[in-house]
């Protein structure tokens, strides 16, 4: 891992990178996705990926000695937690439903569509990629 860079400019750049990359991936994999945070404007940026990416790179130096599978599990837990918090903000504060995983699996059912196991696993993988930016 590279030396951590925590200047304001570096944090803003990384948040922009994660938010934009997350938007691009969602649009390729799942079709058009936009955040309700921007009041209907089609801004190519998803805040949940910006926050998730920053949370992962904040944790990365603290767990760098852990085995790969444990790091992936920790990143999955972090990203899933960020996604759940984002879903609550989206639904309760913004009055939107920017994403809904329906009843795909037990996790989706238990969280009213905010989370699912597939996306939780993807958070683990994304964490392993994002730790390179820590």
pLDDT at 117: 94
Note the pLDDT tens digit of each residue in 110-122: 999 999 999 999 9
Q: Looking at the chain, how many residues does it have?
A: 134
pLDDT at 103: 86
Contact 86, 99 (CB under 8 A): no
pLDDT at 4 over 70: no
Q: What is the DSSP letter of 2?
A: P
* CA gap 117, 25 in Å, rounded: 18
Token pair for residue 69? 């599978």
pLDDT at 3: 52
Sign of CA dihedral 82, 10, 23, 60: negative
* CA gap 23, 37 in Å, rounded: 13
Domain boundaries, the chain: 8-133
pLDDT at 40: 85
């Amino acid at each position: 891992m590279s030396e951590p860079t925590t200047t304001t400019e570096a944090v803003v750049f990384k948040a922009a990178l994660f938010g934009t990359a997350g938007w691009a991936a969602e649009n390729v994999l799942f079709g058009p996705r936009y955040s309700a945070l921007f009041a209907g404007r089609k801004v190519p940026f998803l805040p949940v990926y910006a926050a998730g990416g920053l949370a992962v790179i904040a944790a990365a130096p603290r767990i760098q000695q852990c085995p790969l599978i444990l790091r992936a599990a920790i990143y999955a837990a972090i990203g899933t937690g960020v996604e759940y918090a984002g879903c609550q903000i989206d639904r309760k504060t913004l009055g939107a439903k920017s994403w809904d995983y329906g009843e795909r699996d037990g996790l989706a059912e238990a969280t009213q569509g905010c989370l699912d196991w597939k996306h939780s696993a993807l958070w683990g993988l994304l964490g392993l990629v994002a730790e390179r930016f820590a």
